[in-house]
Structure 1
Amino acid sequence: MTLSSAALLRPQSLALIGVSDDPSKTAGRPLQFLRRAGFDGEIFVVNPRRETVQGEKAYKSLADLPKRPDHAFILTDAEKALDALEECERLGVPVATMLSSGFAEAGERGLANQARLEAILARGTIRLVGPSSIGVVNLHNGLTLTANAAFAEPDLPKGGIFVGSHSGSLIGALVSRGKRKGIGFAGLVSVGAETDLSIGEICLATLDDPQITSYMLFIETLRHADKLQEFALEAAKRGKPVAAFKLGRSEEAAELAVSHTGSLAGADEVADIFLAELGIARVESFEGLLEVMPLLQQVPASLDGPRRGRVGVVTTTGGGAAMAVDQMALRGVDVVPASEETRARLREKGIEPGEGRIIDLTLAGTRYDVMKATLDILRSAPEFDLVLATAGSSARFNPELVVQPAVDAAREPGHPLAVFLVPDAPDAARLLAKAGVPAFQDPETCGDAIAAALHRRAPTRSTPLDSSAFIGETTVLDEVSCYRLLEHHGLTSAPHIVLKVGDPVPPLPFAYPVVAKVLDSRIAHKTDAGGVVLHIADAAQLAEAMQAIVSRVEENTGIKASEILVQQMTRGIGEVLVGFRRDPQVGPLVVLAAGGIFTEFYRDSTMRLAPVDRAAAMEMIQEIKASRILDGYRGGPKGDLDALADAIVSVSRLATETAPRVEEFEINPLLVLPRGKGVRAIDGLGRIAP
């Protein structure tokens, strides 16, 4: 059943089920908030134990109502909530929001409740927000259908931002902080457990609402990633920017199987690349989420690849500007100096720009005419993508001197303009917010928001996600089996031969020196098991090495090796790791990293959703620090980066294999040879579904 946006956010009638007579209680707040906000639709109160609730007529059940409501808010405990949802479904109520908890998170009894809930929803005749949703709000029509205490706040400013949040309390934090800063919202929804409706599907249903111009997402998980992708692509088509704050920047347990790739593609790294490929600007801070939107509406997403962003800074306080510059630089934003032509134009206006990276006007910048003229010139200078004005103490006591020039300048054509307020200047912040000028009140938020806006790209992926999971045992491939799989996709490995333990060493089909490695699918990391010997010069050394490998491996792992892989030693320009793993929420991810045994230690890596094309593969190469070595660092030889890009594309295609289905794969190391000589796989690990 398609979600009705009208029933969700513009209902003509509401039913509050289980509303309390005490307006100070959680279950009593929604009625109080709706009346105070002036909701002009019909409100029906359902409470079987009372004749009246908060002075209003109470009905015994939904069936007793004079008409079917468009939207029901269920405020009871879990068991009664399920009874109410059953009745809503039977009577044809299109949407319900459920505050109740006590489902999948609540042990054995909760699992029984969850099963019953899913059975009701499976009938397909009602849509649910929740359970554990604190409610739905549309500030433009007074729909404060929420139990969040923050909505007791009077005169909340209205605006164009719609908020979707996994956390109920956070929507209250956004509106209260937003009021202080003069930032208004169109609507907010707490999605709760997303048993039915997800953030993506709810936001998707609101896209054609003309009162909604942009979106803020507070995300705890990427479940229902397919709906989030669908929403993000449609939002980009309509020019409605999306910003997200996701919990989980700290190290989380990676779904580690046999390879290093799993640890490199941890939960937060996955979120980063997923949101970036959808064109969603991810901020690092909650305050950044609140303050980034005016900037996103001015800075278009990049259409032609990665963009560092070039920022020009003008200030009346050198120390304050330096704080902002530090924070931008830490996030990969280029703070660039004004060109000589731009400085000459400033001097023609009687403004001394100095010679530094920033334009420090000192106290002269507190004059309206000086600041306004400087901003006009910088905003037309071709060397900048954005101009940041840093305001000192005058922003608090005399906002007309520094802030008003920014407001007036922003009304005229030119590069996007933002303001960093060094002092606590709430009046100046509200003045800027009212004028739609991005304003930041601490350097970390300033750097965070500017980086998120400048680095935002238009969506680079429109193909559906493949997050289907294989249920059952998988088969781990040994190294030779991995090579056979690679050869099918045009990738070559170093020359090799498999020898049986106990057999005499035969003449090799390639020259010494060689490396000997234990060959056993049960041993994923051969070096850790003592199963590798390098720089073997002749047959006698090879025989000794094979005996040593068998002995060490059995001692370290308990496994008695029966086969040894002998491989010709090859030298190249450098080593990389190329692999992919399947994320349970967003599907297969391709990883490129500096290769070798210290891959996880250095964590020099980048990733993309699979499969990738050649342009994306070349971007990945440029994003790792090891690419400098591969590209002739300090006059050294250049590696075959074209062949490396082809290898990345080939490995990414393994993710689309269906016969067999490849669950996880890694080449580490992949040797990059000199330009024109290609690449060679030196080791491989993989898992397939039988």
Structure 2
Amino acid sequence: MNSFKHLFEPRSVAVVGVSDDAARPGSQTVRALLKNGFAGQIYPVNPKYEQFEGLKCYPAVDQIDGPVDLVVIGVPAKGVLAVLEQSAAKKIPFAVVLSGGFRESGPEGIELEKKMLAIARESGMRIIGPNCLGFANIHSNVYAAFGSITREPKLKVGSVSLVTQSGGFGYSLALGCAAAGVGFRHVIATGNETDIDTVQLIDALLDDPETEIIVAYIEGTRDGRALLDVGRRALAAGKPVLLWKGGVTEQGARAAASHTASLTGSYDFYRALFKQTGIVEIREIHEAVDFLKALAGAKYPSGGGVGVMGVSGGSAIVFADAGEPEGLSLCDLSESTQARLKDVVPNIGAVHNPIDLTAGYFSAANREKLKAAVLATLDDPSVHSVCINLATTGNAGSVAAAEVLAGIASEAGKPVLVFSSAPADQIAPALEIFDRARIPVLPSPSRAARAIAMLKRYGEAKMKLTGSAHALEADDAGARTNGLSDAIKKGSLSEIESKEILAAAGIPVTKDVIVEGVDGALFDTLKGPLVVKIVSPDIPHKTEVGGVKVGLRTREELESSIAEVLENARTHAPAARIEGVLVSEMVRGGFELIAGVVNDEVFGPVVVVGAGGIYTELLRDSACRLAPFDVKTAREMVDELQCRRIMDGARGSAALDVEAVAQALSALSRFAWDNRGIVKEVDVNPLFVLTQGVVAADALIIPSTTGNA
């Protein structure tokens, strides 16, 4: 936060573009600063006015007679560069450009943005915008903004900071949260992000001691690795980041030679990043509200067992229906727990899970019984969190429950959540008690279930942070696999070269021999059945040119197949360089996966694994993670696959070596990261999973055209 201290806490603000027209952005900014009681100096700028709103109005920024920390610019786009140049000459460190008409408007706007960035880089000035609503520092009454951010209702002060690329929608998100009682510290709209972007602002807010949780809306980022680092830093700092990614249906467009790249889109990479950092994805405004409430307590369940207790059996059923797909369960309570519950639950109730407290239980007369029941449930080792279903309980009963739970929650190490569908105005006193105790109250049992599941995932991410994948990135960034640089100098790599390199990286491959022509003698040195494949760096998809023959069991089949794939390649790809024919021992049994690497321009190397063979197009079943990562993360990838159950042994068949898959994926991630500057893609197809080990039957490494070996 230190580098942006005088951006968010300016001692003086110049506002360029004020006018008697109340709709002008600059006019709105000055009026918002005055109305909200900004304590610093305000310098309106417009040569047409001597005064504005009772303040001296200056003809230009460079004629202001005092130091300026922040300049807010609301003039038409064609006048912005001149204002920035004056501001740079005056050594103003920060600017917010509210004006539109930049890259969103076409080629001329793109050039304006380039010149704007050049001014910033040359002078050291930092810029938010252009084409943004600006920002508001709620606790210090700084409103460097216009539009909805400056209008009523005023957000209440709190510990949540919001960063949004879309000012209008982002502020809708803020208002939705505010209506549910969430208070804010900073609200920042970044617009085109010519200079300062969302990731940099999240990073700065992590250093703000008063910001406890960060909410962000993004449509994209220029640097996925920076977001990865910020997400991990946030997790280590214990400051949850809730992120809404817009534009998730747009698939990443890649002209790729590998099968691997076609398995994923850019949104998959964001989701992988979320899983590797603990960033909490949100997809609805109410979801942001629920998760903010749940995270405020900073308590995370160590497992999926939930004790559900209350006065509505239907609510428990709905909770279970929503919770099971999220990894939650209404766990079995121990006999000792049930014995404790029998002492305080009416005979017509139930002491198994869900715990039926019966109608009318929440009352002042039952305070001690409720306390005993909740403590007994929390003490059960199978219970990792508790949901109290108040349902339609009225004010008196809700207040009694709130007072009991507030006393328990402060000492409990497990999260306690409440479901209440009673109108907020009818149980307002209870809601105030819950709020002070940081006990989230959700309006439906399914939303309570999803909030608990989110807490579980976030807690698991915190546990995984120490000592695993994060440490992998601290190595020598220039490390490369032996032999790769020399091979890449020739351009593309053949299959046999690719497999040799991957074998050196720790990925098992098939036994192969390359021949230049028909060679039947190989039949006596290799174990059949055999496979023959054309070897050419110019033919990535061999089957499409008839360059593959499988299941060869005789010398005659081997000889004729070698001749046939050579003829097919020359016929269908006459310009291709033919290096020979690869003869391999055919892998039998097991299950086919596809594994590989896509070196994305935003996220860097990403490892992908998916179902292979006939399931590739049928299931579209894949998982991915940003490289590098450890074996534990690789196991999680495999566990996400629909085909995972097949590898456990389907219909009496033997279980396959999933651990070997994880080790191979981790090794592939290490290889991808070490060679990120020179490898564009890797395709291992198929990767056979056997009862013992894995083996890559085919592989292709595609060099980066920009990499230099």
TM over 0.5: yes
- What are the ranges of 5 or more consecutive residues in structure 1 without an aligned counterpart? none
Letter in 1 for 2:679: V
Contact 1:282/1:452 (CA < 8 Å) preserved in 2?
Answer: no
> Per-residue deviation at 1:644?
3.0
In structure 2, the residue matched to 1:212 is 211
Please list, as runs of the form range in 1=range in 2, the aligned pairs for 1:221-620 lying within 5 A after superposition: 221-250=220-249, 252-255=251-254, 257-299=256-298, 309-351=304-346, 354=350, 357-367=353-363, 369=366, 371-394=370-393, 399-400=398-399, 403=402, 405-422=404-421, 425=424, 428=427, 431=432, 432-442=434-444, 445-456=447-458, 457-458=461-462, 459=465, 460-461=469-470, 463=473, 475-500=491-516, 503=518, 505-508=520-523, 509-545=525-561, 563-620=580-637
> Per-residue deviation at 1:183?
1.0
The more displaced of 274-283 and 625-634 is: 625-634
> Per-residue deviation at 1:197?
1.3
Please list, as runs of the form range in 1=range in 2, the aligned pairs for 1:616-631 lying within 5 A after superposition: 616-631=633-648
- What are the ranges of 5 or more consecutive residues in structure 2 without an aligned counterpart? 479-484
Contact 1:249/1:268 (CA < 8 Å) preserved in 2?
Answer: yes
Contact 2:296/2:438 (CA < 8 Å) preserved in 1?
Answer: no
Contact 2:25/2:98 (CA < 8 Å) preserved in 1?
Answer: no
Contact 2:135/2:149 (CA < 8 Å) preserved in 1?
Answer: no
The more displaced of 192-201 and 82-91 is: 192-201
The whole-number CA distance in structure 2 between the counterparts of 1:301 and 1:608 is: 24
The whole-number CA distance in structure 2 between the counterparts of 1:428 and 1:436 is: 16
Contact 2:539/2:576 (CA < 8 Å) preserved in 1?
Answer: no
The whole-number CA distance in structure 1 between the counterparts of 2:489 and 2:190 is: 35
> Per-residue deviation at 1:140?
0.9
Percent identity between the two aligned chains = 29
Letter in 1 for 2:274: L
SS at match of 1:363: coil
Change (3 A) 1:121 1:7: same
Residues 614-661 of structure 1 deviation map (CA, whole Å, 9 limit, x = unaligned): 333344344434444434456643434443333223222321344982
In structure 2, the residue matched to 1:148 is 147
SS at match of 2:513: strand
In structure 1, the residue matched to 2:481 is none
The more displaced of 109-118 and 645-654 is: 645-654
Query: Is 1:651 matched with 2:663?
Result: no
Contact 2:297/2:439 (CA < 8 Å) preserved in 1?
Answer: no
The whole-number CA distance in structure 2 between the counterparts of 1:99 and 1:375 is: 53
Contact 1:640/1:673 (CA < 8 Å) preserved in 2?
Answer: yes
Contact 1:512/1:568 (CA < 8 Å) preserved in 2?
Answer: yes
SS at match of 1:413: coil
The whole-number CA distance in structure 2 between the counterparts of 1:24 and 1:144 is: 16
The whole-number CA distance in structure 2 between the counterparts of 1:493 and 1:620 is: 21
Residues 78-124 of structure 1 deviation map (CA, whole Å, 9 limit, x = unaligned): 22122111111110111111112222333221122022112101114
The whole-number CA distance in structure 2 between the counterparts of 1:464 and 1:248 is: 32
Letter in 2 for 1:46: V
Contact 2:48/2:59 (CA < 8 Å) preserved in 1?
Answer: yes
Contact 2:134/2:188 (CA < 8 Å) preserved in 1?
Answer: yes
SS at match of 1:391: strand
Change (3 A) 1:473 1:200: farther
Contact 1:517/1:526 (CA < 8 Å) preserved in 2?
Answer: yes
Please list, as runs of the form range in 1=range in 2, the aligned pairs for 1:126-145 lying within 5 A after superposition: 126-145=125-144
The whole-number CA distance in structure 2 between the counterparts of 1:541 and 1:507 is: 12
Contact 1:127/1:196 (CA < 8 Å) preserved in 2?
Answer: yes
In structure 1, the residue matched to 2:698 is 683
The more displaced of 197-206 and 73-82 is: 197-206
Letter in 2 for 1:76: V
> Per-residue deviation at 1:444?
5.7
Would you tell me which structure has more helix in proportion to its own residues?
A: 2
SS at match of 2:160: strand
The whole-number CA distance in structure 2 between the counterparts of 1:354 and 1:169 is: 50
The whole-number CA distance in structure 2 between the counterparts of 1:529 and 1:301 is: 56
The whole-number CA distance in structure 1 between the counterparts of 2:93 and 2:539 is: 56
The whole-number CA distance in structure 1 between the counterparts of 2:677 and 2:8 is: 47
The whole-number CA distance in structure 2 between the counterparts of 1:19 and 1:596 is: 66
The whole-number CA distance in structure 2 between the counterparts of 1:674 and 1:598 is: 20
The whole-number CA distance in structure 2 between the counterparts of 1:273 and 1:213 is: 24
Contact 2:24/2:74 (CA < 8 Å) preserved in 1?
Answer: no
The more displaced of 126-135 and 475-484 is: 475-484
Residues 345-399 of structure 1 deviation map (CA, whole Å, 9 limit, x = unaligned): 2112134663764223342444353654433332332212221223322258964
Residues matched between the structures, number: 679
> Per-residue deviation at 1:22?
3.0
Letter in 2 for 1:361: L
The whole-number CA distance in structure 1 between the counterparts of 2:250 and 2:669 is: 25
**When the two structures are superposed, what TM-score results if normalisation uses the length of structure 1?**
0.88
The whole-number CA distance in structure 1 between the counterparts of 2:12 and 2:314 is: 56
Residues 143-179 of structure 1 deviation map (CA, whole Å, 9 limit, x = unaligned): 1222132542245321111111111113321332233
Contact 1:137/1:146 (CA < 8 Å) preserved in 2?
Answer: yes
> Per-residue deviation at 1:40?
1.6
> Per-residue deviation at 1:445?
4.3
Letter in 2 for 1:240: K
> Per-residue deviation at 1:404?
5.1
Query: Is 1:187 matched with 2:181?
Result: no
SS at match of 2:208: coil
Contact 2:136/2:149 (CA < 8 Å) preserved in 1?
Answer: no
In structure 2, the residue matched to 1:40 is 39
Contact 1:308/1:455 (CA < 8 Å) preserved in 2?
Answer: no
Change (3 A) 1:155 1:613: closer
